[in-house]
Amino acid sequence: MPIDSVTGTGGATGATTTTATPRTPVQTMGSEVFMSLLVTQLKNQDPSSPMDTGQMINQTTQLSMMEKLTQLAEDTTTARDTQVRAASAALVGASVSYRAADGTTTTGIVDGVTYAGSDTQKGADPTLTIGGTRVRYADVLGVGR
């Protein structure tokens, strides 16, 4: 049986219009999603044929491994950021050659270092100040004293 479409009377007194906010899909599966799926699976299993305990232990182990790998990745990123900050700070007062914006190789003394100020820029390389010019740490080609 077909259903007729419904049309509004635009301009009705007291009518309100709501706009749905677009939903952003989750691109990664975190532990909350995994546990939710596991609980749903347990709730909906056939009582006469319950889930194999070995399979449940395997899934729990996979969850634990996923969490540890995620933590390891975060720790590695933090260690890299710390190392880059220390290395860039050690360049203050040193003579460095760097790739300038026009593509030429330029040499100057590092006057200071600026770090990204917010967590949203985590992992961003420091910026060196060389003779009043801001240079990305990644553009440094060589160091001398």
Dihedral (CA of 130, 134, 135, 136) sign: positive
Residue in the structure block whose two tokens are 């049986």: 1
Residue 10: predicted pLDDT: 53
Residue 122: predicted pLDDT: 58
Nearest to 114 by CA among 101, 105, 125: 125
Q: Tens-of-pLDDT digits for all 145 residues of the chain?
A: 556 555 555 555 555 555 666 766 655 666 777 778 778 877 888 777 777 778 878 888 888 898 899 899 999 999 998 899 999 999 999 999 999 989 899 999 999 999 875 444 555 789 999 999 999 998 999 998 7
Architecture of 51-144 per CATH?
Answer: Roll (2.30)
Phi-psi region of 35 (alpha: psi -120 to 50; beta: other; left: phi over 0): alpha
